[in-house]
Amino acid sequence: MAGAVSWLGVYMLLPKPMWIYVFGHEFTHAIWTWLCGGRVKGMKVSANGGHVYVTKDNFLITLAPYFFPLYALVVAGGFALGNRLWGWSGVVPEAAFHMLLGAAYAFHVTLTAHIMQTRQPDITSQGWLFSMVIIFLGNALVLLLAVPLLTGRVELAQAFGWWGESLSQMGGWAWANTASIIQP
């Protein structure tokens, strides 16, 4: 939370680092293109926007920058690598990791929300409703995976079990309430 609050102060008081955001946005398109078996032909980035030239496109590639927090994953990966290679555990305080991770995730959320206030070709090409559903579910899945992995207090399978149980309860509630509305 301290990292997120710190980032919010930077976001509100200083110029927005749009070139850094746009680079991450376009690079995320590239990563997901590779993950989906495509090739990247080139990339253009400026503070005003960017574009990546790819050989393959689908809704995951198009919408990934809105739910895939690249810089938060870079922070988590950097600390994991540092712990593995150089034994950072105990040397670099856990609080520093959590602060940087919170700031990186807040960076993703705030600048994604900021950029969504303008007409985004990624969103319009996929349809607004479909895009919003995928972006919401993608962000929920990232958090569902990240929280157990980062805290180490809950097994991933247990977190998915809780998620499934909650979805089942919500579905049961929706079914019961819908049935009472439909019946005369």
- Four-residue CA torsion sign, 105, 111, 116, 117: positive
Q: Across the chain, what does the average pLDDT equal?
A: 84
pLDDT of 51 strictly over 80:
yes
118 with 143, same domain: the answer is yes
Place of tokens 């680079």: 23
pLDDT in tens, 73-105: 898 888 878 777 777 666 667 778 888 888 998
147 with 164, same domain: the answer is no
81 with 163, same domain: the answer is no
148 with 174, same domain: the answer is no
174 with 147, same domain: the answer is no
76 with 165, same domain: the answer is no
121 with 171, same domain: the answer is no
184 pLDDT tier (thresholds 50, 70, 90)? low
Dist. CA 20–CA 36, nearest whole Å: 24
Q: How many degrees, rounded to 5, is the angle at CA 12 between CA 7 and CA 15?
A: 95
* Percentage above 90 pLDDT, the chain: 28
Q: Mean per-residue pLDDT for 31-41?
A: 93
Place of tokens 């994991």: 80
33 pLDDT tier (thresholds 50, 70, 90)? very high
Dist. CA 28–CA 122, nearest whole Å: 13
Q: C-alpha distances in angstroms, 69 versus 60, 63, 112, 158?
A: 14, 12, 10, 23
pLDDT in tens, 153-176: 777 788 778 878 888 888 888 888
8 with 82, same domain: the answer is yes
52 has which bridge partners? 43
175 with 94, same domain: the answer is no
109 with 129, same domain: the answer is yes
42 with 93, same domain: the answer is yes
Q: Which of 31-45, 52-66, 84-98, 127-141 comes out lowest in average pLDDT?
A: 84-98
Which DSSP state fits 14? S
pLDDT at 13: 82
Domain that holds residue 178: 158-184
Dist. CA 48–CA 22, nearest whole Å: 8
Please state the domain count of the chain. 2
pLDDT at 41: 94
pLDDT at 92: 62
Alpha helices in 14-117 (DSSP H): 18-35, 59-67, 70-86, 94-115
116 with 177, same domain: the answer is no
